[in-house]
Amino acid sequence: MAIDLRAFTNARVALGRAGHSLPTAELLRFQLDHARARDAVHQALDPCHLPPHVLLRSAALDRATYLRRPDLGRRLSSDSAGLLAPGEYDAALIVADGLSAVAVERHARPLLAALLPKLEGWRLPPLHVVLQGRVAIGDEIGQRLGAALVVLLIGERPGLTSPDSLGIYLTWAPRAGRTDAERNCISNVRPEGLDYALAAHKLHFLMQEARARRLSGVALKEDALLL
């Protein structure tokens, strides 16, 4: 009995062929998915889709500069640095547009809604939202805020079947110069990937473990029991 592999995945498998090429329908679908991925990279974030927040900007002044100069997306603009109010915080929650503003607009609010009830008793500053931000910008923000832990929600690089994938990066003792090996990542948060409840469950586990063990990254394993 023949098995239709496409019933089990959104990946581009079992596409068929027409001579030495793809069938016209599959070629057109590829071009549409490619266009959606490109649009996701270039689309600007509308902060109105997010809960109340402090709006910040990176040193990349516009989207074109952000895409050409990743280094500028890793640090705050001088004006934004002055908007941060230091305190004694257990964790700071940050949202950045990254490479897919559409992922942030669709998934950041429901993910935060699933997470925040689990953080009762945690000392948290207001939510901060960064335009033209890369992952490492969370380190500077967390350090300036005086947060022991930083959690960054960011739009991931779009794929041909996933232009709206949200990523989560967790870093203990954030400071400029932290490496990716010192972070934990939860990827592909969206209804078609890791749903909000399970992502919040995994993130809360990592936050608790990071605070208890005072570390993050490769030394901190994600072995939370499933819901």
**How many angstroms separate the CA atoms of 67 and 211, rounded?**
34
Question: DSSP assignment of 174-222, as one string?
Answer: --TT--GGGEEEEEEESTTSB-HHHHHHHHHHHHHHHHHHT--STTS--
88 annotated to bind ligand: no
Q: Which residue, chain included where needed, has tokens 């019933």?
A: 7
- Phi, psi values for residue 211, rounded to 5°: -70, -40
102 is in an annotated binding site: no
Q: Residue 70 has which token pair?
A: 């990743």
- Determine whether the annotation assigns residue 156 to a binding site: yes
**Amino acid identity for residue 133 in this structure:** G
Binding-site annotation, residues: 135, 156, 185
Q: Binding-site residues for adenosylcob(III)alamin, please? A: 135, 156, 185
